[in-house]
Amino acid sequence: MGAVNNREENIQEALDMAKKTKAEMQELQTKNENLLKEARVERDQMIKEAKETSNQMIEDAKGKSKTEADKIIENARVSIESEKNAAITELKTQVATVALEIAEKVIREELSSDENQKQLASKLADDISLN
């Protein structure tokens, strides 16, 4: 009978050990699942942050390039306006020079004879005395 009791104790110990091992395995499986969930959450958070950072960098680059483009356009506009004003000034100077040359030629033609010079002097004298 001692052998049967001994055998029974060994079987009970093996069953107890199997239950204990099963409980430990379930506990490990639960821990693994929790670790996996945490890893997924962390991964998702990292992906989200990376996307946000990427989007922010894109928006910053767009803003910076728009600012630079606006500066270039404004500088071009100012340069064009300056060159336009310089061209207008140059044109006015040329027109004035041509007008003076024409006036000089007309006056020389008008005053080429003594009679025309006397008439102009007389007219100027009359204009002065009227004022």
Per domain, the residue ranges of the chain are: 2-95
Instruction: Check residue 113 and give left, alpha or beta (phi > 0: left; psi -120 to 50: alpha).
Output: beta
pLDDT in tens, 8-61: 888 888 888 989 999 999 999 999 999 999 999 999 999 999 999 999 999 999
Amino acid at 1: M
Residue-level pLDDT at 125: 83
Amino acid at 50: A
- pLDDT of 87 strictly over 80: yes
Residue-level pLDDT at 16: 86
What value does the mean pLDDT of the chain take? Answer: 90
Residue-level pLDDT at 77: 97
